[in-house]
A and B are shown apart, each in its own frame.
Chain A
Amino acid sequence: MKNNRKQRGAYDEVSFRMVFLLVFFLMTTVTGFAQNKTISGIVVDKAGEAVIGASVLVKGTSNGTITDFDGKFTLSNVPEKGIITITYIGYKEQNLPIAGKVTLKVTMVEDTETLDEVVVVGYGTQKKTDLTGSVMSVKSEDITSVTANNPVQALQGRVTGVSVVTDSRPGKSPTLRIRGNGSISAGNDPLYVVDGFPLMNGSLNEINANDIASMEVLKDASATAIYGSRGSNGVIMITTKAGAKDSKSLTFNANYGFQMPGRLVETMNHEQFVDFINSAYMNSKGITIYNDENPAPNIHTDWQRETIKSSSPVQDYSISLNGTSGDTQYMMSGGVYLQDGLLSNYDYNKYTFRTNLQHKFNNFIKLGTHLQYTYSEGGLATTTNYEGALTELWRYGWPTLPVYREDGSYAIPNDNPAISSYFDSGIKWNAVNYYNEVKKESSVSRLFGDVYAEFQLAKGLTFKTNFGLDIANTRDYNYITSDYTLSTGTGEGGNGYSKKISRITENILTYTNTWGKHRLTATGVYSWQNYIYENLSIDGKGFANDETGAWDISQANRETVDYGSDKYQNSLVSWTGRVSYAYNDRYLLTATARYDGSSRFGANNKWGFFPSVGLAWRASQENFLVDNKYITNLKIRTSFGVTGNQEIGNYKSLAQLNADNYIYNNGELQGYYESIGNPDLKWERANQFDIGVDLSLWNRLHITADYYYRKTSDLLYQVPIPSTSGFSSMLSNVGSVLNKGYELSITGNIINTNDLKIDATVNLSRNINKVKELYNDVESITLSSGLGLSRYLKVGESLNSRYALLSDGIIRTEEQLNEYRKIEGTAKLGDEMYKDLDGDNQITAKDQVNIGTTDPKLIYGVGLNVQYKKFSLNILGNGAHDFVGGTSYLQIAENQINSSVICMPSLYAYERMWSESNPSGTYPAPGASNIHESDRINSGWNYFVVKSIALSYDFGKNPIKGIKGIKSLSATVNFQNFITFSNQRGYNPENGDIKYPWVKIVNIGVNAKF
């Protein structure tokens, strides 16, 4: 009756009479039969603790209540033969017949049935059991288990087929690849979709990890083809938390972490350094640096310690409220993330606010919104040339150099004429100065969200329309003070604005029906999305006053002021459809198609068609398996489809007039020159096949395995054209690249008792990349070639192959020396020998061979969860096996690779350098010559990182006496990145990078839920 009255408001005048009649009819019938009574009860969990705020509802009515602080409820006006339904998030729904009872005790059972999970896919959700594609899901507790400024960092080691390379710098995003690189010159980044909004403006930095309910990684064409021209590199769907149904909660998270530099390189002591530098110069130039005439100063500067802070804090606080009030589901949150860097002038702070609302206005209209605002500020002490000041410790950071002069100003090598000539372009080097006196900051103000309306057109038929906006305003600032040792005595810098706007509108028609053994969902989408970028920047030199810096650009010398601005846009229009059909819960079909039009492509190829089909068979539902005790789930999936990649930049198909001005009498003469366009330019096209199996044994061991084959053709490449045309190349669609691979993930519930639970996960991914075709029968393209690491694109080899000389060992004996001198006339003992593969008695780039690729042969992740009573321990590790690393100054120094100055090795390398007193040394001698990058230095890299070791204690419900209403309280100590194994000594164990120290974090967190 209450129900009816409420509905009435929704109808307009026209139907008033009908409604009146109906209300009358229902009232008479219902009240006529009801014999009502009052019941009361208590709701507890398995441990017997009261469940607060659980919803108790008479089934089929809106007569309901929620449990109080003691888990108790009282419900009046309950029909004698009714059923009450008790629901609470995280627990299975309980339906109990009331018949004959006035008091009830209900024990809630935790909902651990993962197979009935709903998974977010493009333009909708699907039951996990109905999936035909390769989709992996990461839930919120895993996302927040690692402190990182960017939530995608949490995917590292957790999802097969996804490779993540950490960038430790505050505010920087990791590099993420799904199933390898499919493109040479268009992008290889996946598409990120947040609450249905495909980001055109890439970064997820501004999203608060605490707001995320789940991240889904869509890997195969059955899942990604619905994103058509943007699906080729995989899709990551991010879903933020929605208001929980029928309950409310307030969650507070606080994390405080100490960041510390990990993997610092152990260096030589004073005597060792003097010995090294003297032997190196004696060996290479026949002189010594420190001798009686020029004794080594009594200084021992540890440049790493001077430059890198020993610790700095990272803090993360968030508060979040969510629930349902009447017909409104709500979620609102606020977060603060504050991270200081381990180098001066590095930091990243962000403030996030989010509201997700959904209101059921009546039975046929639902309205909702997702809205996020973020303000972030980040600093990176970088200028184009000196981002790598830390890397240059290994070139110039002699421990005999002071950091400061006696008067307190910055010291530079040039201060001491006796040694300054050994520093080449580093004569003004001072790493401490570079980080202190260079500032580069940017602040981002980003509003991001949508408003939608969903219409229930008929039973099973809904229409949803939305409009979304993502607007990011960025303010950049950079300044180098007059104290910068390389400056010309005055400051220089600039500032600028940029604005990125993406607008989207989507219209989704969904039809769902179930009849007999058939289940069908059909979705049709029309969408339009547009992206605009604008910027304006100004910079100048000659600032007399460091106090105002570059904020007051008028302080710069007028003649040096330079400025620029730009604007571009692109649009995408799409028609999309999907049909999912399940017969008897066993035979599953998903077919998708997208027809995409992009402004970026040539007039003759604006539109592209991207179909896919996925099939799955749930064998475990068949009669012969349905009651099998061992095989509790078995699904075989396969899919085939076509996806695209449109990341080529804007206006690449058009002939353009570009500005190229001349000048006369200091006045600019406007000049325009013509470029040629390619009206046939179109998408890169990936044909992808996937076959996979999901298997569960005893319902405790879960195995997922996939094989995929993705061939990307019509690759965008600057193909050379006859240069007598005035142009050297034109962007064209040529060639193809293949990625194929295997993925395996195994999760086991090893022990599952009341007091002790142990789960373990292992996942492995292997990707093989091959160039299948270049253009015009060309078999090889040189990207860079020399005696170092060379890069070629060769048919039959990986895109990321590296070519280098093969090491033949260190020259240890006179016989070896005499022999090798036929190849290298100036060779000395302690140099390295290389294989002269073409037998021309010279070492040239022709002697290089493919030494592997920068993509690991195998990536893997392992996880272990142990829960003992109220303690839990989570350990997560990830690693990669067998890949080629690039060369840093540290490696140049360790191996004395040819460089304009003698570089300083680590203690590790110094102790292993060949010398007469160390005749079995494995590293070239100090000052050795003709050393190049080789398989010895660059190939066969591997690493394993224990990403996190987290120990938590769950205080349970209402742990504090006298304070009620605490649903849960837990505390966690997390050790991140503490244990690393790597066969190189660069700071970053994953790629050898030495631009920024490896960051290990001890993190203390409290999570309270009310």
Chain B
Amino acid sequence: MNMKSIYLRKKTLLVGRWSVIAALFVIVTLFSGCTGLTESPYTFVDPGNYYKSEEELESALNSVYADFRKFASNYKTLMILELVTEHAMPAHASKDGVISFNCWQGVNQATTYNIQIWDSGYEMINRCNVVLGRGDGVNMSDEKRNQVYGQARFFRAYTMFVLLRLYGGLAIPESYTSGLNGLEIPRKTVDDTYDYIIQDLEYCIANLPTRSQWGSSSYYKASKGAAQALLGDVYLTRGCMDNYNTTYFQEAKKQLSDVINSGEYELLSDYKSLWYWFVEEASKNTKESLLEVQFGPTQVSALHCNFGINVTDESLGGKMYHRSAISHKDYLSYQDDDVRKQCFLTEYTITGTDTRRYFEPEYKGFSGKGEGKWPSSAPGNMKFYDRTKSCYETGGSKANLIAIRYSDVLLNYAEVENYLNGPTSDAYEKLNKVHQRSLSVPVTPGLSKEEFDDAIYQERTWELVGEGYLYFDELRTDRLGKNVYEYKTYMYENGYFNCQKLQFVPQKTFLWKIPQTSLDSNPVLEQNPDNISDPRYPLK
């Protein structure tokens, strides 16, 4: 028995030793290097280790362009800003509150009926600030760096100018966001915001190449000419809002004439050549375009479907909804020989059949009525359409959106010149350039200052309807309230489709409410005061 117990002790030791060795071996081989808890991202890059080369900084700038596309081609902004004017009418959908916006319902509240562009504007501003904040450490020439900065500051200015006109004085972040500290920024005054924008654009003018210097490989980039045109618009707007201050108008005229005299830009001979529907790829980045939002086969636009005619047909390209359309009044205001009138879709034949559909204004926007059985409330606006096969199949349009167009520069110049010196021949010349491209008869000569101003506004409507300019033009020229009051009342009283009773008449000082969610997240942000309906146009 003694023997047995000795054996057992030995056995325990043996087993213990070999097993421990085996186990340790297994542990060592299996788990060395297994304890790392750092995450290995495969599909994104760590910003802390980035921004070393010019190329990497360019990629940050490219994301500014990508975000600019989202910001500037936001169909809701384009649509709503046009819907609240007399230039558009709501279509069939009740989606996006089109009916309510059309009749100015609930404009003083900060939730549902609102221009929800505040947050996306600040996303844009932050992306610009990332470029500006990260660029200093990048090894590249100062000239190149300043060009990158110039582009970032251009888009920051563009965005802030849009937000300023919608909401008033802005909160201005000092740099890009990298953490949670110092994010509660109060608003600055309107003047401070203007000054900030102007400072940015002056930097752009000093540092950005011209369109021809960029060359055809870079026409998409912000150029000196685009900055001058934008600055001209900024001064024009500031002058109008500041009681027609001529100091600002002088500045505006200077910037705009610099663009015109640069020889970089010209009007295309045929208005139709601006649009994808007619000339496809040739419509892109022409000499008439100062800044263009780029689309293509892999980065498509959905703008066409929101301003469509509520059908899908192979001959018309991608699937269309119908949310807003040109107002009947505007469509009918074109002279029949005006080339621009051909840019509205008023008839088509259903593919594979002989069935013709056509627009009949007498049915007041009620679709499917009458012989033509037009499926929508108004003609379609072809400016965003792409009728190629790929658009029909993917639903995405390859058409670009022109953000600053030379005809706008000319019309702005004519307006400023009229403010400063009356309808001079210089002013007439600029207006007629635009007018006569599409119409044979020039603008009536000998108009008074006011008549000339109205003629410019009429020209802007014909030239730019549906492109997102007209709301701002009407507001700064104090036309918005009167036009809205007259036309929307007419539409309602005559029973036009989906046109409801006008609820509010905006004044020149109208500001949108900052969306409530944006206010909630930033306690130091002050909301705009309630707007008061224009007492000159009492609502019934």
Contacts and interface: CB of A to CB of B under 8 A. Distances in A.
Given A488-B314, A723-B118, A657 B44 contact: yes
22 contacts: A21-B7, A456-B15, A465-B30, A488-B392, A569-B39, A651-B44, A654-B39, A655-B47, A655-B178, A656-B41, A660-B66, A663-B296, A664-B294, A671-B63, A673-B130, A722-B521, A724-B171, A724-B522, A724-B525, A726-B124, A726-B125, A726-B177
B19 interface: yes
B127 interface: yes
B297 interface: yes
A673 B34 contact: no
Given A541-B394, A559-B393, A723 B296 contact: no
Interface in A591-636: 597-600, 606
Interface of B: 3-4, 7, 10-12, 14-16, 18-20, 22-23, 26-27, 30-31, 34-48, 50, 56, 59-67, 69, 118-119, 122-127, 129-130, 171, 173, 176-180, 183-185, 217, 219-220, 294-299, 312, 314, 368, 389-390, 392-394, 517-518, 520-522, 525
Nearest to A650: B39
Interface stretch (A285-293, A560-568, A689-697): A560-568
A657 B49 CA distance: 10
Nearest to B177: A725
Contacts of B312: 488
A452 to B, nearest CB: 11
Contacts of B219: 664
A240 to B, nearest CB: 24
B3 to A, nearest CB: 6
A738 to B, nearest CB: 25
A978 interface: no
A728 B119 contact: yes
A599 B39 contact: yes
Interface in A658-699: 658-674, 676
A25 interface: yes
Interface-central residue, A18, A559, A597, A664, by most chain B CB under 10 Å:
A664
A166 interface: no
Contact of B177 (A25, A653, A658, A727): A727
Nearest to A528: B34
Closest 3 CB pairs of A and B: A726-B126, A671-B62, A722-B522
Contacts of A651: 39, 41, 44
A600 B66 contact: no
A657 B66 contact: no
Interface string A459-498: 1000101010000000000000000000011101000000
Interface string A530-564: 10000000000110000000000000010110000
B10 A15 contact: yes
Interface string A25-42: 100000000000000000
A282 interface: no
Contact of B183 (A489, A600, A663, A721): A721
Nearest to B70: A660
A331 B503 CA distance: 78
Interface class of chain B by DSSP: helix
A269 B220 CA distance: 64
Nearest to B216: A665
A299 interface: no
A573 interface: yes
Contacts of A842: none
Given A505-B31, A722-B184, A568 B41 contact: yes
A661 B299 contact: yes
A960 interface: no
A488 B130 contact: no
A3 interface: no
Given A658-B44, A671-B59, 9 more contacts: A505-B31, A542-B389, A599-B37, A653-B39, A657-B45, A657-B50, A674-B47, A674-B127, A726-B176
A646 to B, nearest CB: 12
B19 A463 contact: yes
A11 B7 CA distance: 12
B521 A657 contact: no
Contacts of A560: 390, 393-394
B20 A457 contact: yes
A638 B39 CA distance: 38
Contacts of A597: 35, 37
Interface residues of A, number: 82
Contact of A606 (B12, B37, B521): B37
B30 A467 contact: yes
A583 interface: no
Interface in A424-463: 453, 455-459, 463
B12 A459 contact: yes
A441 to B, nearest CB: 23
Contacts of A722: 183-185, 521-522, 525
Interface string A799-839: 00000000000000000000000000000000000000000
B517 A18 contact: no
A657 B46 contact: yes
A405 B187 CA distance: 65
B450 to A, nearest CB: 41
Contacts of A725: 122, 126, 173, 177, 183
A720 interface: yes
Interface in A67-95: none
A559 B395 CA distance: 12
B37 to A, nearest CB: 5
Contacts of B26: 453, 465, 507
A899 to B, nearest CB: 12
A22 interface: yes
A528 B35 contact: yes
A368 B419 CA distance: 92
Nearest to A667: B296
A915 interface: no
A363 interface: yes
A983 interface: no
B26 to A, nearest CB: 5
A730 interface: yes
Contacts of A507: 23, 26-27, 31
Given A465-B26, A559-B394, A568 B43 contact: yes
A664 B400 CA distance: 10
Given A457-B20, A664-B294, A723-B517, A672 B368 contact: no
Contacts of B118: 723
B518 A662 contact: no
A660 B34 CA distance: 34
Contact of A465 (B18, B23, B126): B23
B63 A727 contact: no
Contacts of B65: 662, 669, 671
Contacts of A490: 393
Contact of A457 (B16, B37, B63, B298): B16
Contacts of B296: 663-667
Contacts of A660: 62-63, 66-67
Nearest to B134: A674
Contacts of A727: 123, 126, 177
B173 A724 contact: yes
A676 B178 contact: yes
A455 B185 contact: no
Contacts of A656: 41, 44-47
A672 B60 contact: yes
Given A18-B7, A673-B60, A599 B297 contact: no
